[in-house]
């Protein structure tokens, strides 16, 4: 997996490490899913884009939340 | 207001329909609505039997009102309905009754349809009702086209299209399924007009149940209606009227069949029988089937596949009016519960539900046709997760409608299921259908 073009130049704000693509597991209200995301190769900090957070991840959250 | 084991509220006298003080009295695990009319005596009706306990059956909720009120109050709730300023919840479902004609003669009929049916309202009149709903509650609610039997109108497609044109995104049909079963093209036409879901009367998996409740065998037609709706891309919700001693033994089988017919069948919505409309005689205490009894019988008859603890109080209407639970269908036929009620832990940390808004979007999503045809999947990707949950979530819910015997004005004031009356007033469903012991309606009048 290669980094998306728009984050290739990014570094980790916390420790300065370089980013790499990793499979990140999410758990929310007994639901589990995995997403390939850029993360710091040194400290593991994960980058979640605004598009993902307000798009599909918000969709998943709405699906699991009770009316 | 609570004092000891009594919660004070108000109700109506079943005989004269005068507003009278009432109390919810809890004795052990059972709760009764108790009231006295100075002219007609004492009345006592069970409203909650057994566990889960009524004392923990609630969740934080904000009252939500927007839109306009009816004219100022003169006589107070429930006599100035339309909705009046006493009301603490706006509509999440708005019923529009497009005919009083029916092709069945059920002893159990909320709407008292069929006999002495008046002429159908014109499209222009119906447009006026849509406008009334729009003005009082906006477009973000579920419009349920009802009757009578709405499919008896040959212009139903035009009625649905009119609602969509006026901005209502969720139009659902309440039907007995007879016409849907007669012609596969009909469901397609309704879907193309903008219908998203069918609330299908479905009282059991055995024909003698239909003969008792609906007057004739209907199971084959129900199954064919489901098949045609599925092919047309309409979500189907099975709606059993639950009558003590008639189909209570069949509740588990209804759920098992519904699961077999999922994802086309999106869920089951149980409605314990109420005693208004055209019901034979006053109810015996043993004829009352309460929500906790239903939750327990679901657990018993599904052999624990669904448990009473999986069901939650509502975030929209009054807690004593309904329960619901969502379940994810797993590839092996098991279910994973997505909801759980934990009264002992308290739900104080839960976000207050803003009532109707979230409820409408959740229900509309759940009752829509599925996005995929089969249980998936062997991947844990986010896309697969979303698709799997959208397709394979199965909803079980129930609503306890009130009649003149168990009417509790505190519950009515939090009602979010409203009927548009012929004059455009929005009346809570239970009040609209309520009748006295003599059959005198509080609100319902002939359609035209």
Interchain CB distance below 8 Å, A66 and B338: yes
Q: Strands B417-420, B93-97: parallel, antiparallel or unpaired by DSSP?
A: parallel
In a domain, residue B87? The reply is no
* Residue located via tokens 């509509």: B91
Q: Which two tokens stand for residue B274?
A: 């109420």
User: What is the extent of the structural domain holding B227?
Assistant: 93-343+352-399
pLDDT at res. B3: 57
CATH number at residue B360: 3.20.20.70
What distance in Å separates the CA atoms of residue B348 and residue B445, rounded to the nearest whole number? 44
- Taking CA–CA distances from B337, the nearest residue in chain A reads A30
Q: Which residues of B touch A66 (CB under 8 A)?
A: 312, 315, 326, 338-339, 362
- Find residues 179-198 of chain B whose CB sits inside 8 Å of chain A: none
Interchain CB distance below 8 Å, B316 and A29: no
Local mean pLDDT, 10-residue blocks, chain A (67 residues): 86 93 87 90 94 90 77
Q: What's the Cα-to-Cα distance from B29 to each of B6, B319, B354, B377, rounded to whole Å?
A: 13, 17, 30, 43
Q: Helical H runs in B233-354?
A: 251-261, 291-301
A41-59 tens-digit pLDDT: 999 999 999 999 999 998 8
Q: Is A57 on the interface with B (CB under 8 A)?
A: yes
The arithmetic mean of pLDDT across residues B401-414, rounded, is 95
In a domain, residue B332? The reply is yes
In a domain, residue B194? The reply is yes
pLDDT at res. B350: 41
pLDDT at res. B351: 43
- How many domains are contained in chain B? 1
What distance in Å separates the CA atoms of residue B4 and residue B404, rounded to the nearest whole number? 25
pLDDT at res. B312: 95
In a domain, residue B2? The reply is no
Interchain CB distance below 8 Å, B338 and A30: yes
| Domains defined along chain A, listed by start | 5-64 (3.10.20)
Q: Is B359 on the interface with A (CB under 8 A)?
A: yes
Q: Is A51 on the interface with B (CB under 8 A)?
A: no
- Taking CA–CA distances from B359, the nearest residue in chain A reads A67
Quote the Cα angle for B274-B294-B197, to 5°: 70
Measured in angstroms, the CA of B361 and the nearest CA of chain A are apart by 8
CA atoms within 13 A on the CB side of B373: 4
From the list B362, B380, B384, the residue facing A67 with the nearest CB is B362
In a domain, residue B73? The reply is no
pLDDT surpassing 60 at residue B104: yes
pLDDT at res. B347: 45
In a domain, residue B381? The reply is yes
In a domain, residue B445? The reply is no
Interchain CB distance below 8 Å, A67 and B316: yes
Lowest mean pLDDT among B87-96, B142-151, B279-288: B279-288
In a domain, residue B30? The reply is no
- Find residues 372-411 of chain B whose CB sits inside 8 Å of chain A: 380-386, 389-390, 393
């Amino acid at each position: 997996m290669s980094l998306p073009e728009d984050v290739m130049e990014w570094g980790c704000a916390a420790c300065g490490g370089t980013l790499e693509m990793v499979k990140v597991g999410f758990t929310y209200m007994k639901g589990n899913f995995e997403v390939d995301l850029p993360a710091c190769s040194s400290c593991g900090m994960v980058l979640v884009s605004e598009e993902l957070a307000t798009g599909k991840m918000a969709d998943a959250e709405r699906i699991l939340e009770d009316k | 207001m609570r004092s000891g084991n009594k919660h004070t509220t108000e109700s109506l006298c079943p005989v004269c329909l005068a507003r009278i003080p009432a109390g919810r009295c809890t004795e052990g695990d059972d709760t009764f609505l108790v009231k006295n009319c100075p002219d007609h005596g004492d009345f006592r009706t069970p409203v909650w039997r057994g566990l889960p306990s009524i004392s923990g059956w609630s969740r934080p909720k904000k009252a939500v009102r927007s839109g306009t009120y009816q004219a100022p109050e003169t006589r107070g709730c429930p006599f100035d309905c339309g909705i009046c300023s006493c009301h603490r919840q706006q509509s999440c479902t708005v019923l529009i009754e497009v005919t009083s004609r029916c092709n069945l003669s059920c002893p159990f009929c909320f709407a008292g349809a069929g006999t002495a049916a008046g002429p159908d309202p014109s499209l222009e009149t119906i447009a006026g009702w849509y406008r009334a709903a729009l003005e009082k509650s906006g477009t973000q609610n579920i419009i349920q086209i009802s009757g009578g039997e709405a499919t008896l109108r040959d212009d139903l497609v035009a009625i649905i299209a009119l609602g969509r044109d006026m901005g209502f995104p969720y139009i659902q049909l309440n039907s007995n399924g007879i016409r849907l079963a007669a012609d596969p093209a009909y469901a397609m036409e309704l879907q193309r007009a903008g219908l998203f879901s069918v609330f299908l009367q479905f009282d059991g998996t055995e024909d003698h149940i239909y003969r008792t409740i609906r007057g004739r065998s209907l199971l084959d037609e129900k199954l064919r209606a489901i098949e045609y709706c599925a092919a047309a891309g309409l979500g189907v919700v099975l709606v059993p009227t639950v009558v003590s001693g008639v189909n209570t033994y069949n509740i588990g089988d209804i759920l098992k069949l519904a699961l077999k017919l999922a994802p086309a069948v999106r869920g089951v919505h149980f409605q314990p029988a109420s005693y208004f409309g055209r019901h034979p005689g006053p109810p015996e205490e043993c004829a009352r089937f309460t929500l906790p009894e239903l939750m327990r019988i679901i657990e018993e008859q599904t052999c624990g596949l669904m448990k009473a603890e999986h069901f939650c109080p509502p975030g929209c209407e009054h807690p004593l009016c309904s329960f619901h639970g969502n379940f994810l269908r797993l590839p092996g036929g098991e279910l994973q519960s997505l909801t759980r009620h934990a009264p002992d832990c308290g739900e104080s940390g839960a976000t207050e539900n803003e009532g109707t808004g979230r409820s409408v979007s959740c229900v509309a999503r759940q009752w829509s046709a599925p996005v995929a045809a089969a249980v998936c999947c062997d991947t844990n990707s986010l896309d697969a997760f979303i698709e799997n949950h959208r397709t394979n979530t199965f909803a079980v819910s129930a609503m306890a409608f009130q009649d003149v015997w168990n009417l509790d004005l505190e519950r009515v004031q939090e009602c979010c299921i409203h009927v548009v009356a012929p004059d455009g007033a929005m009346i809570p469903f239970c009040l609209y259908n309520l009748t006295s012991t003599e059959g005198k309606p509080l609100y319902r009048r002939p359609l035209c």
